[in-house]
Structure 1
Amino acid sequence: MPQKVSAGTRERLLTAAERLLLTERYEDVSVRGICAAADANAAAVHYHFGSKEALVVALLEDRLGALWADRLTAVTSEHRPVGDIVDAILEPFTELAADPAGRLHLRLLAQCILGRQVGLEFWQQQWFRLDSWSGLLPHLPEPDSRRRWMLAFDLIIMRFGGDAADGRPITEQAVASLRDFVVAGLTAKETP
Protein backbone atom coordinates (compact mmCIF):
# COMPACT_ATOMS: atom_id res chain seq x y z
CA MET A 1 0.00 0.00 0.00
CA PRO A 2 2.69 2.64 0.77
CA GLN A 3 4.08 2.27 -2.79
CA LYS A 4 0.70 3.15 -4.30
CA VAL A 5 0.43 6.20 -2.05
CA SER A 6 4.00 7.16 -2.92
CA ALA A 7 3.42 6.74 -6.67
CA GLY A 8 0.18 8.69 -6.34
CA THR A 9 1.91 11.51 -4.51
CA ARG A 10 4.65 11.63 -7.12
CA GLU A 11 2.10 11.90 -9.95
CA ARG A 12 0.11 14.54 -8.04
CA LEU A 13 3.30 16.55 -7.65
CA LEU A 14 4.05 16.27 -11.37
CA THR A 15 0.50 17.27 -12.28
CA ALA A 16 0.48 20.20 -9.84
CA ALA A 17 3.90 21.39 -11.02
CA GLU A 18 2.79 21.12 -14.63
CA ARG A 19 -0.37 23.12 -13.98
CA LEU A 20 1.57 25.85 -12.18
CA LEU A 21 4.56 25.95 -14.52
CA LEU A 22 2.41 26.13 -17.62
CA THR A 23 0.72 29.29 -16.37
CA GLU A 24 3.52 30.96 -14.39
CA ARG A 25 7.20 31.63 -14.90
CA TYR A 26 9.64 29.05 -13.56
CA GLU A 27 11.08 31.55 -11.06
CA ASP A 28 7.62 32.32 -9.67
CA VAL A 29 6.71 28.72 -8.85
CA SER A 30 7.92 27.53 -5.45
CA VAL A 31 8.33 24.06 -4.02
CA ARG A 32 5.91 25.06 -1.28
CA GLY A 33 3.35 26.12 -3.90
CA ILE A 34 3.73 22.83 -5.77
CA CYS A 35 3.23 20.82 -2.58
CA ALA A 36 0.19 22.88 -1.62
CA ALA A 37 -1.36 22.47 -5.08
CA ALA A 38 -0.73 18.71 -4.90
CA ASP A 39 -2.17 18.52 -1.39
CA ALA A 40 1.12 16.95 -0.30
CA ASN A 41 3.46 17.30 2.63
CA ALA A 42 5.78 20.30 2.39
CA ALA A 43 8.78 17.97 2.03
CA ALA A 44 7.22 15.78 -0.69
CA VAL A 45 9.11 17.37 -3.61
CA HIS A 46 12.42 16.78 -1.86
CA TYR A 47 11.44 13.23 -0.93
CA HIS A 48 10.30 12.21 -4.43
CA PHE A 49 12.64 14.30 -6.60
CA GLY A 50 15.33 15.89 -4.48
CA SER A 51 14.77 19.44 -5.73
CA LYS A 52 12.54 21.68 -7.80
CA GLU A 53 14.99 21.36 -10.69
CA ALA A 54 14.82 17.55 -10.63
CA LEU A 55 11.01 17.68 -10.46
CA VAL A 56 10.84 19.94 -13.54
CA VAL A 57 13.23 17.67 -15.43
CA ALA A 58 11.13 14.62 -14.49
CA LEU A 59 8.03 16.48 -15.69
CA LEU A 60 9.53 17.44 -19.05
CA GLU A 61 11.05 14.02 -19.60
CA ASP A 62 7.76 12.36 -18.68
CA ARG A 63 5.61 14.58 -20.89
CA LEU A 64 7.97 15.05 -23.85
CA GLY A 65 10.46 12.17 -23.81
CA ALA A 66 8.27 9.68 -25.64
CA LEU A 67 7.92 12.09 -28.57
CA TRP A 68 11.60 11.70 -29.42
CA ALA A 69 12.72 8.37 -27.99
CA ASP A 70 11.61 5.93 -30.70
CA ARG A 71 12.33 8.28 -33.60
CA LEU A 72 15.82 9.13 -32.46
CA THR A 73 16.69 5.57 -31.49
CA ALA A 74 15.64 4.40 -34.95
CA VAL A 75 17.59 6.99 -36.95
CA THR A 76 20.72 6.79 -34.83
CA SER A 77 20.85 2.99 -34.68
CA GLU A 78 20.65 2.89 -38.47
CA HIS A 79 23.51 5.44 -38.74
CA ARG A 80 21.37 7.74 -40.84
CA PRO A 81 22.64 11.08 -42.16
CA VAL A 82 22.59 14.14 -39.91
CA GLY A 83 19.66 15.56 -41.90
CA ASP A 84 17.52 12.57 -40.93
CA ILE A 85 18.47 13.03 -37.27
CA VAL A 86 17.54 16.72 -37.43
CA ASP A 87 14.21 15.78 -39.05
CA ALA A 88 13.54 13.36 -36.17
CA ILE A 89 14.23 16.21 -33.75
CA LEU A 90 12.12 18.82 -35.53
CA GLU A 91 9.00 16.73 -36.19
CA PRO A 92 7.90 16.61 -32.52
CA PHE A 93 8.67 20.31 -32.10
CA THR A 94 6.42 21.07 -35.07
CA GLU A 95 3.66 18.85 -33.65
CA LEU A 96 3.92 20.49 -30.22
CA ALA A 97 3.84 23.98 -31.76
CA ALA A 98 0.53 23.16 -33.44
CA ASP A 99 -1.15 22.30 -30.12
CA PRO A 100 -1.98 24.87 -27.39
CA ALA A 101 -0.85 22.55 -24.56
CA GLY A 102 2.21 21.60 -26.59
CA ARG A 103 3.14 25.28 -26.96
CA LEU A 104 3.00 25.65 -23.19
CA HIS A 105 5.35 22.69 -22.78
CA LEU A 106 7.71 24.25 -25.35
CA ARG A 107 7.68 27.51 -23.40
CA LEU A 108 8.52 25.66 -20.20
CA LEU A 109 11.31 23.75 -21.95
CA ALA A 110 12.68 27.05 -23.26
CA GLN A 111 12.55 28.65 -19.80
CA CYS A 112 14.49 25.75 -18.33
CA ILE A 113 17.05 25.26 -21.09
CA LEU A 114 17.65 28.74 -22.44
CA GLY A 115 17.32 30.40 -19.06
CA ARG A 116 19.72 27.76 -17.69
CA GLN A 117 17.25 27.26 -14.84
CA VAL A 118 18.00 23.54 -14.78
CA GLY A 119 21.53 22.19 -14.98
CA LEU A 120 22.52 19.53 -17.47
CA GLU A 121 23.27 17.13 -14.63
CA PHE A 122 19.56 16.72 -13.83
CA TRP A 123 18.53 15.20 -17.16
CA GLN A 124 18.25 11.40 -17.07
CA GLN A 125 16.67 10.17 -20.31
CA GLN A 126 19.08 9.40 -23.13
CA TRP A 127 17.94 12.01 -25.64
CA PHE A 128 17.86 14.79 -23.06
CA ARG A 129 21.54 14.26 -22.23
CA LEU A 130 24.13 16.03 -24.37
CA ASP A 131 26.60 13.16 -24.12
CA SER A 132 24.18 11.02 -26.18
CA TRP A 133 24.66 13.36 -29.13
CA SER A 134 28.40 13.92 -29.32
CA GLY A 135 29.17 10.64 -31.11
CA LEU A 136 26.65 11.41 -33.86
CA LEU A 137 29.09 13.78 -35.56
CA PRO A 138 32.06 11.46 -36.16
CA HIS A 139 33.89 14.05 -38.26
CA LEU A 140 34.39 16.19 -35.15
CA PRO A 141 36.22 15.77 -31.86
CA GLU A 142 33.83 15.18 -28.95
CA PRO A 143 34.07 18.71 -27.42
CA ASP A 144 33.33 20.35 -30.78
CA SER A 145 30.43 17.98 -31.41
CA ARG A 146 28.95 18.78 -27.99
CA ARG A 147 29.23 22.52 -28.63
CA ARG A 148 27.55 22.25 -32.02
CA TRP A 149 24.70 20.16 -30.65
CA MET A 150 24.25 22.60 -27.77
CA LEU A 151 24.05 25.52 -30.22
CA ALA A 152 21.66 23.58 -32.45
CA PHE A 153 19.35 22.76 -29.55
CA ASP A 154 19.49 26.31 -28.21
CA LEU A 155 18.45 27.60 -31.64
CA ILE A 156 15.66 25.05 -32.08
CA ILE A 157 14.32 25.54 -28.57
CA MET A 158 14.54 29.33 -28.90
CA ARG A 159 12.59 29.24 -32.15
CA PHE A 160 9.90 26.86 -30.98
CA GLY A 161 9.82 27.94 -27.33
CA GLY A 162 9.52 31.60 -28.25
CA ASP A 163 7.29 32.38 -31.20
CA ALA A 164 5.43 29.07 -31.21
CA ALA A 165 4.85 29.19 -27.47
CA ASP A 166 3.38 32.67 -27.88
CA GLY A 167 0.88 31.33 -30.40
CA ARG A 168 2.56 32.76 -33.49
CA PRO A 169 2.60 30.10 -36.20
CA ILE A 170 5.86 28.71 -37.47
CA THR A 171 5.54 28.36 -41.20
CA GLU A 172 6.72 25.33 -43.12
CA GLN A 173 9.26 27.58 -44.83
CA ALA A 174 10.62 28.74 -41.48
CA VAL A 175 10.96 25.14 -40.29
CA ALA A 176 12.69 24.19 -43.56
CA SER A 177 15.14 27.10 -43.21
CA LEU A 178 15.80 26.20 -39.59
CA ARG A 179 16.43 22.58 -40.60
CA ASP A 180 18.86 23.57 -43.36
CA PHE A 181 20.71 25.97 -41.05
CA VAL A 182 21.05 23.38 -38.28
CA VAL A 183 22.19 20.64 -40.67
CA ALA A 184 24.76 23.00 -42.21
CA GLY A 185 26.12 23.90 -38.79
CA LEU A 186 26.34 20.31 -37.63
CA THR A 187 27.99 19.01 -40.80
CA ALA A 188 30.43 21.86 -41.43
CA LYS A 189 34.10 20.93 -41.51
CA GLU A 190 36.12 21.23 -38.35
CA THR A 191 37.76 24.61 -37.98
CA PRO A 192 41.45 24.56 -37.08
Structure 2
Amino acid sequence: MAGETRERILEVAERLFATAGFASTSLRDITAEAGVNLAAVNYHFGSKEALLVAILERRIRPRKYRRRALLDELEARAYGGPTVEQIVAAFVSPPFQSALIEGSRRREMLKLVGQLHSQVNPEFRRLFIQQFDEVRIRFTASLQRVLPDIDPEEVARRVMYIVGAMIYMMSWGEESGHPPSQAPERLLQSLIEFASAGMAAPATAPAGIPAPETLPTDASVAAHGGHA
Protein backbone atom coordinates (compact mmCIF):
# COMPACT_ATOMS: atom_id res chain seq x y z
CA MET A 1 0.00 0.00 0.00
CA ALA A 2 2.80 2.43 0.91
CA GLY A 3 4.52 1.61 -2.37
CA GLU A 4 1.35 2.29 -4.35
CA THR A 5 0.86 5.61 -2.57
CA ARG A 6 4.42 6.68 -3.31
CA GLU A 7 4.04 5.72 -6.97
CA ARG A 8 0.76 7.63 -7.30
CA ILE A 9 2.33 10.75 -5.79
CA LEU A 10 5.23 10.51 -8.24
CA GLU A 11 2.93 10.09 -11.24
CA VAL A 12 0.74 13.04 -10.30
CA ALA A 13 3.63 15.30 -9.35
CA GLU A 14 5.46 14.61 -12.61
CA ARG A 15 2.37 15.48 -14.63
CA LEU A 16 1.62 18.66 -12.67
CA PHE A 17 5.24 19.85 -12.64
CA ALA A 18 5.38 19.35 -16.42
CA THR A 19 2.08 21.05 -17.23
CA ALA A 20 1.87 23.84 -14.64
CA GLY A 21 5.56 24.24 -13.81
CA PHE A 22 7.45 23.35 -10.66
CA ALA A 23 7.11 26.78 -9.04
CA SER A 24 3.38 27.03 -9.76
CA THR A 25 2.54 23.59 -8.39
CA SER A 26 1.95 23.33 -4.66
CA LEU A 27 2.04 20.23 -2.52
CA ARG A 28 -1.67 20.75 -1.92
CA ASP A 29 -2.26 20.58 -5.68
CA ILE A 30 -0.44 17.26 -5.73
CA THR A 31 -2.21 15.78 -2.70
CA ALA A 32 -5.63 16.79 -4.03
CA GLU A 33 -4.95 15.21 -7.43
CA ALA A 34 -3.39 12.07 -5.97
CA GLY A 35 -6.06 11.64 -3.30
CA VAL A 36 -3.59 11.56 -0.42
CA ASN A 37 -2.91 13.83 2.53
CA LEU A 38 0.07 16.10 3.04
CA ALA A 39 1.50 13.76 5.66
CA ALA A 40 1.91 11.08 2.98
CA VAL A 41 4.04 13.38 0.83
CA ASN A 42 6.14 14.41 3.81
CA TYR A 43 6.55 10.77 4.85
CA HIS A 44 7.74 9.55 1.47
CA PHE A 45 9.69 12.60 0.27
CA GLY A 46 9.97 15.29 2.92
CA SER A 47 9.68 18.30 0.60
CA LYS A 48 8.66 19.39 -2.88
CA GLU A 49 12.32 19.63 -3.91
CA ALA A 50 12.99 16.07 -2.74
CA LEU A 51 9.94 14.93 -4.69
CA LEU A 52 11.40 16.50 -7.84
CA VAL A 53 14.70 14.69 -7.25
CA ALA A 54 12.83 11.39 -6.87
CA ILE A 55 11.06 11.99 -10.19
CA LEU A 56 14.33 12.68 -11.97
CA GLU A 57 15.99 9.64 -10.45
CA ARG A 58 13.10 7.39 -11.42
CA ARG A 59 13.19 8.51 -15.05
CA ILE A 60 16.89 9.14 -15.62
CA ARG A 61 18.56 6.41 -13.55
CA PRO A 62 17.42 3.43 -15.71
CA ARG A 63 18.65 5.20 -18.83
CA LYS A 64 21.92 6.04 -17.11
CA TYR A 65 22.49 2.41 -16.12
CA ARG A 66 21.62 1.23 -19.64
CA ARG A 67 24.06 3.69 -21.19
CA ARG A 68 26.83 2.62 -18.84
CA ALA A 69 26.16 -1.06 -19.56
CA LEU A 70 26.28 -0.48 -23.32
CA LEU A 71 29.55 1.44 -23.08
CA ASP A 72 31.05 -1.22 -20.77
CA GLU A 73 30.16 -3.86 -23.35
CA LEU A 74 31.62 -1.84 -26.21
CA GLU A 75 34.89 -1.16 -24.43
CA ALA A 76 35.21 -4.80 -23.38
CA ARG A 77 34.60 -6.46 -26.74
CA ALA A 78 35.41 -3.92 -29.45
CA TYR A 79 38.69 -4.85 -31.16
CA GLY A 80 40.89 -1.77 -31.09
CA GLY A 81 38.27 0.13 -29.14
CA PRO A 82 34.75 1.27 -30.06
CA THR A 83 34.06 3.53 -33.02
CA VAL A 84 32.57 7.01 -32.80
CA GLU A 85 29.27 5.73 -34.19
CA GLN A 86 29.12 2.88 -31.65
CA ILE A 87 29.68 5.29 -28.76
CA VAL A 88 27.12 7.77 -30.07
CA ALA A 89 24.57 4.96 -30.54
CA ALA A 90 25.10 3.81 -26.95
CA PHE A 91 24.58 7.39 -25.77
CA VAL A 92 21.40 8.30 -27.67
CA SER A 93 19.59 4.95 -27.97
CA PRO A 94 18.48 4.32 -24.33
CA PRO A 95 16.55 7.59 -23.81
CA PHE A 96 15.10 7.44 -27.30
CA GLN A 97 13.91 3.85 -26.84
CA SER A 98 12.58 4.62 -23.37
CA ALA A 99 10.57 7.50 -24.79
CA LEU A 100 8.96 5.14 -27.31
CA ILE A 101 8.02 2.67 -24.58
CA GLU A 102 6.68 5.34 -22.24
CA GLY A 103 4.27 6.65 -24.87
CA SER A 104 2.14 9.49 -23.48
CA ARG A 105 4.45 9.93 -20.49
CA ARG A 106 7.16 11.05 -22.86
CA ARG A 107 5.63 14.50 -23.34
CA GLU A 108 5.43 15.14 -19.61
CA MET A 109 9.01 14.12 -18.92
CA LEU A 110 10.37 16.08 -21.88
CA LYS A 111 8.54 19.20 -20.74
CA LEU A 112 9.90 18.79 -17.24
CA VAL A 113 13.46 18.21 -18.47
CA GLY A 114 13.16 21.23 -20.76
CA GLN A 115 12.03 23.42 -17.87
CA LEU A 116 14.85 22.30 -15.61
CA HIS A 117 17.45 22.61 -18.34
CA SER A 118 16.45 26.21 -19.08
CA GLN A 119 15.76 27.33 -15.53
CA VAL A 120 17.57 30.45 -14.40
CA ASN A 121 17.39 29.17 -10.81
CA PRO A 122 20.83 27.57 -10.23
CA GLU A 123 19.35 25.02 -7.84
CA PHE A 124 17.09 23.60 -10.55
CA ARG A 125 19.96 23.44 -13.01
CA ARG A 126 22.06 21.69 -10.38
CA LEU A 127 19.37 19.05 -9.89
CA PHE A 128 19.29 18.31 -13.61
CA ILE A 129 23.05 18.34 -14.08
CA GLN A 130 23.60 16.15 -11.03
CA GLN A 131 21.43 13.42 -12.54
CA PHE A 132 23.05 13.66 -15.98
CA ASP A 133 26.69 14.60 -15.51
CA GLU A 134 28.14 11.23 -14.56
CA VAL A 135 27.15 9.57 -17.81
CA ARG A 136 27.94 12.65 -19.90
CA ILE A 137 31.46 12.87 -18.49
CA ARG A 138 32.13 9.20 -19.12
CA PHE A 139 30.89 9.26 -22.72
CA THR A 140 32.79 12.48 -23.38
CA ALA A 141 36.01 10.84 -22.14
CA SER A 142 35.38 7.80 -24.35
CA LEU A 143 34.86 10.00 -27.41
CA GLN A 144 37.95 12.05 -26.57
CA ARG A 145 40.02 8.84 -26.63
CA VAL A 146 38.85 7.87 -30.11
CA LEU A 147 39.17 11.46 -31.41
CA PRO A 148 42.67 12.44 -30.24
CA ASP A 149 43.11 14.98 -33.05
CA ILE A 150 40.16 17.10 -31.88
CA ASP A 151 40.53 19.44 -28.93
CA PRO A 152 38.97 17.86 -25.81
CA GLU A 153 36.90 20.97 -25.12
CA GLU A 154 35.51 20.82 -28.66
CA VAL A 155 34.55 17.17 -28.14
CA ALA A 156 32.75 18.13 -24.91
CA ARG A 157 30.82 20.87 -26.73
CA ARG A 158 29.80 18.47 -29.48
CA VAL A 159 28.43 16.04 -26.90
CA MET A 160 26.14 18.83 -25.67
CA TYR A 161 25.07 19.51 -29.25
CA ILE A 162 24.04 15.85 -29.43
CA VAL A 163 22.05 16.21 -26.22
CA GLY A 164 20.15 19.17 -27.67
CA ALA A 165 19.45 17.34 -30.94
CA MET A 166 18.31 14.24 -29.03
CA ILE A 167 15.82 16.17 -26.88
CA TYR A 168 14.44 17.95 -29.92
CA MET A 169 14.08 14.73 -31.92
CA MET A 170 12.22 12.97 -29.09
CA SER A 171 9.81 15.89 -28.71
CA TRP A 172 9.42 16.64 -32.42
CA GLY A 173 5.74 17.06 -33.24
CA GLU A 174 4.51 16.93 -29.65
CA GLU A 175 3.76 20.64 -29.45
CA SER A 176 2.87 21.33 -33.09
CA GLY A 177 0.68 18.27 -33.49
CA HIS A 178 2.62 17.26 -36.61
CA PRO A 179 4.67 14.17 -35.73
CA PRO A 180 7.43 13.09 -38.14
CA SER A 181 6.39 10.78 -40.96
CA GLN A 182 9.35 8.43 -40.53
CA ALA A 183 9.26 5.40 -38.25
CA PRO A 184 10.87 6.02 -34.82
CA GLU A 185 13.58 3.45 -35.54
CA ARG A 186 14.58 5.32 -38.70
CA LEU A 187 14.61 8.62 -36.84
CA LEU A 188 16.95 7.13 -34.25
CA GLN A 189 19.30 5.80 -36.92
CA SER A 190 19.23 9.17 -38.68
CA LEU A 191 20.16 10.90 -35.42
CA ILE A 192 23.02 8.45 -34.82
CA GLU A 193 24.40 9.00 -38.33
CA PHE A 194 24.08 12.79 -38.11
CA ALA A 195 25.59 13.02 -34.62
CA SER A 196 28.46 10.65 -35.47
CA ALA A 197 29.40 12.64 -38.55
CA GLY A 198 29.30 15.89 -36.59
CA MET A 199 31.32 14.44 -33.75
CA ALA A 200 34.08 13.18 -36.04
CA ALA A 201 34.18 16.22 -38.34
CA PRO A 202 37.51 18.06 -38.56
CA ALA A 203 37.74 21.04 -36.26
CA THR A 204 39.09 23.29 -39.02
CA ALA A 205 36.83 25.21 -41.40
CA PRO A 206 36.11 23.27 -44.61
CA ALA A 207 37.14 24.52 -48.03
CA GLY A 208 35.15 27.53 -49.19
CA ILE A 209 34.20 28.65 -45.68
CA PRO A 210 36.68 31.13 -44.20
CA ALA A 211 37.94 30.51 -40.70
CA PRO A 212 36.84 33.12 -38.13
CA GLU A 213 40.20 34.87 -38.16
CA THR A 214 39.99 35.41 -41.94
CA LEU A 215 36.50 36.92 -41.94
CA PRO A 216 36.42 40.68 -42.63
CA THR A 217 35.85 42.94 -39.67
CA ASP A 218 33.21 45.66 -39.58
CA ALA A 219 35.98 48.21 -39.91
CA SER A 220 37.48 46.64 -43.04
CA VAL A 221 34.05 46.28 -44.67
CA ALA A 222 33.27 49.93 -43.98
CA ALA A 223 36.66 50.99 -45.28
CA HIS A 224 35.99 49.27 -48.60
CA GLY A 225 32.41 50.44 -48.86
CA GLY A 226 31.06 46.93 -48.59
CA HIS A 227 27.63 45.80 -47.43
CA ALA A 228 26.40 42.65 -45.70
TM-score, with length taken from structure 1 = 0.68
Q: Cα–Cα, structure 1 residues 119 and 191, in superposed 2: closer, same or farther, change >3 Å?
A: farther
Distance across 2 between alignment mates of 1:97 and 1:104: 13
Distance across 1 between alignment mates of 2:174 and 2:87: 22
Q: Between the two proteins, what is the percent identity of the paired residues?
A: 27
Counterpart of 1:67 in structure 2 is: 63
What is the aligned length?
Answer: 185
Q: Cα–Cα, structure 1 residues 175 and 130, in superposed 2: closer, same or farther, change >3 Å?
A: closer
Q: Which runs of 5+ in 1 are unaligned?
A: none
Counterpart of 1:132 in structure 2 is: 138
Q: Where does 1:1-192 land on structure 2 (aligned, <5 Å)? A: 13-31=9-27, 33-34=29-30, 39-41=37-39, 44=42, 48=45, 52=49, 55-70=51-66, 72-77=67-72, 78-79=74-75, 80-88=82-90, 89-97=92-100, 99-114=103-118, 118-120=124-126, 122-125=128-131, 130-138=136-144, 139=148, 140-164=150-174, 168-170=178-180, 171-172=182-183, 173-191=186-204
- 1:189 is displaced (CA, Å) by 2.9
The structure whose Rg is larger is 2
- 1:165 is displaced (CA, Å) by 6.4
Q: For structure 1, which segment, 162-171 or 86-95, has the greater mean C-alpha deviation from structure 2 after superposition? A: 162-171
Q: Cα–Cα, structure 1 residues 164 and 97, in superposed 2: closer, same or farther, change >3 Å?
A: farther
Q: Cα–Cα, structure 1 residues 48 and 25, in superposed 2: closer, same or farther, change >3 Å?
A: closer
TM-score, with length taken from structure 2 = 0.59
Q: State the Cα RMSD in Å.
A: 3.9
Q: Cα–Cα, structure 1 residues 122 and 96, in superposed 2: closer, same or farther, change >3 Å?
A: closer
Q: Is the 8 Å Cα contact of residues 103 and 167 (structure 1) preserved in structure 2? A: no
SS in structure 2 opposite 1:58? helix
Q: Which runs of 5+ in 2 are unaligned?
A: 76-81, 206-228
Q: Aligned partner of 1:28: which letter?
A: S
- 1:141 is displaced (CA, Å) by 4.2
SS in structure 2 opposite 1:29? coil
- 1:62 is displaced (CA, Å) by 0.7
Distance across 2 between alignment mates of 1:68 and 1:168: 30
- 1:104 is displaced (CA, Å) by 2.6
Distance across 2 between alignment mates of 1:14 and 1:67: 18
Q: Aligned partner of 1:82: which letter?
A: V
Q: Is the 8 Å Cα contact of residues 137 and 145 (structure 1) preserved in structure 2? A: yes
Q: Is the 8 Å Cα contact of residues 140 and 156 (structure 2) preserved in structure 1? A: yes
Q: Is the 8 Å Cα contact of residues 156 and 178 (structure 1) preserved in structure 2? A: yes
Q: Aligned partner of 2:85: which letter?
A: G
